[in-house]
Amino acid sequence: MGRKSPNWDSTGLKRGPWTPEEDQKLLAYVQHHGHGSWRSLPQKAGLQRCGKSCRLRWTNYLRPDIKRGKFTLQEDQTIIQLHALLGNRWSSIAAHLPKRTDNEIKNYWNTHLKKRLAKMGVDPVTHKLQKAILGSAIAGTTTIDPKNLSNLSHVAQWETARLQAEARLVRESKSRGGHHQNDHIHQLDNSDHQLLHTDQFDTKFSRTASRPRCLDILRACQTLVLPNLIKNGDENEYDPGYGLLSFDNGGSYSSKNINTPTVSTTMGFEGQYCDDHEQSDLFEVLNNQGTTGYEAGDNNNNGWIREVSNSYGNNAIGFCGSDRGDHDDHEVNKKYWDEVLKFLSF
């Protein structure tokens, strides 16, 4: 494929396409010594390249854990959904696609997916159906394949949830005077705090201000709460309906009756409880991803997730069968919970 013609910059370093010999030198050096400082690597490896060029060549091409070739349908869908959620954060998207590089995904998006969405009448930036097309469809002058319409609507809903959450985050960060993103875990115990202040946590939770916080909360559940339960031998309390996934605004229904940290204490609001926006964001995201179970205020067991506010006088979220006395069915709850996490690519 396309390559820039080889040339040399003013400092005598080579630019442009890599030769097989150069690849071999770089590969052999990194496999033997690791890359260490990229700046000093070229000299040590006998390459007349700048460190940046070497790093790029390694991360985008030579690294052994790279999958090349055609993207699968599953990968296409993942990229589209993540793009709706994360925007052009290619490295974050790549983190969800094992063996694909951010550069590859970015190129694939720009050359294939963006055009495909546009063709289907979806704005690739907003992931919303273009008004003109929707309008003409409604007027009957344009027909849209119902299957596509369903997919597009799904994608658009994700984006709507994302935009709402982002807007609220901006509002909050302004009104709270720029509190640290980790504020929302202030009520966890010391061991949780230690766990939180790892690079992994910082990368996942702190550095991306625009991610809907409800996703952080779900991550927090999995990263913080479950390991604690297992550590304490309490995994039988792995009951999203009562504990892990209780969005508790107060009132009689509460997870406080089990001896585990609860999500409601990790929300980042002053005081202990989440607010309605926070809860509805999560509902929206989970519901929009295609599960059919959530019905606000509905206590009939007809899906995965539901609000239980009307029967308990507060705002909580539970899985079917987990909030009306049959909460002993841990296996079922765990299954639902795992499915949600899996879908959200945790």
CA distance 309 to 332: 21
Is the CB of residue 113 less than 8 Å from the CB of residue 76? yes
Binding residues among 97-116 for DNA as defined by CB under 7 A: 102-104, 106-108, 110-112, 115
By CB under 7 A, how many residues form the interface with DNA? 41
HEC profile for the chain? CCCCCCEECCCCCEECCCCHHHHHHHHHHHHHHCCCCCCCHHHHHCCCCCHHHHHHHHHHHHCCCCCCCCCCHHHHHHHHHHHHHHCCCHHHHHHCCCCCCHHHHHHHHHHHHHHHHHHCCECCCCCCECHHHHHHHHHCCCCCCHHHHHHHHHHHHHHHHHHHHHHHHHHHHHHCCCCCHHHHHCCCCHHHHHHHCCHHHHHHHHCCCCCCHHHHHHHHHHHHHHHHHHHCCCHHHCCCCCCCCCCCCCCCCCCCCCCCCCHHHHCCCCCCCCCHHHHHHHHHHHHHCCCCCCCCCCCCCCCCEEECHHHHCCCCEEECCCCCCCCCCHHHHHHHHHHHHHHCCC
For the bound state, the minimum distance from the C-beta of residue 304 to DNA, rounded and expressed in Å, comes to 31
The site map against DNA for 24-63 (x = CB under 7 A) is ------------xxxxx----------xxx-xxx-xxx--
Q: Among residues 202 and 339, whose Cβ is nearest to DNA? A: 202
Is the CB of residue 13 less than 8 Å from the CB of residue 49? yes
Q: Among residues 112 and 231, whose Cβ is nearest to DNA? A: 112
Q: Among residues 65 and 199, whose Cβ is nearest to DNA? A: 199
Q: Buried (b) or exposed (e) across 84-97, using 16+ Cβ within 10 A?
A: bbbbebbebbbbbb
Q: Among residues 3 and 342, whose Cβ is nearest to DNA? A: 3
Q: Among residues 49 and 213, whose Cβ is nearest to DNA? A: 49
Q: Among residues 90 and 238, whose Cβ is nearest to DNA? A: 90
Q: Among residues 33 and 207, whose Cβ is nearest to DNA? A: 207
Candidates 11-19, 73-81, 177-185, 235-243; binding stretch for DNA (CB under 7 A): 11-19
Q: Among residues 6 and 290, whose Cβ is nearest to DNA? A: 6
For the bound state, the minimum distance from the C-beta of residue 156 to DNA, rounded and expressed in Å, comes to 20
Binding residues among 186-215 for DNA as defined by CB under 7 A: 199, 207
Q: Please compute Rg for the chain using Cα positions.
A: 24
- The answer to whether residue 92 forms part of the interface with DNA (CB under 7 A) is yes
Q: Among residues 16 and 271, whose Cβ is nearest to DNA? A: 16
For the bound state, the minimum distance from the C-beta of residue 69 to DNA, rounded and expressed in Å, comes to 9
Tokens of 134: 């929707």
For the bound state, the minimum distance from the C-beta of residue 71 to DNA, rounded and expressed in Å, comes to 9
For the bound state, the minimum distance from the C-beta of residue 17 to DNA, rounded and expressed in Å, comes to 4
Candidates 86-94, 159-167, 253-261, 295-303; binding stretch for DNA (CB under 7 A): 86-94
For the bound state, the minimum distance from the C-beta of residue 289 to DNA, rounded and expressed in Å, comes to 22
For the bound state, the minimum distance from the C-beta of residue 305 to DNA, rounded and expressed in Å, comes to 30
For the bound state, the minimum distance from the C-beta of residue 227 to DNA, rounded and expressed in Å, comes to 23
Residue numbers at the binding site for DNA (CB under 7 A): 1-5, 9, 15-18, 36-40, 51-53, 55-57, 59-61, 88-92, 102-104, 106-108, 110-112, 115, 199, 207
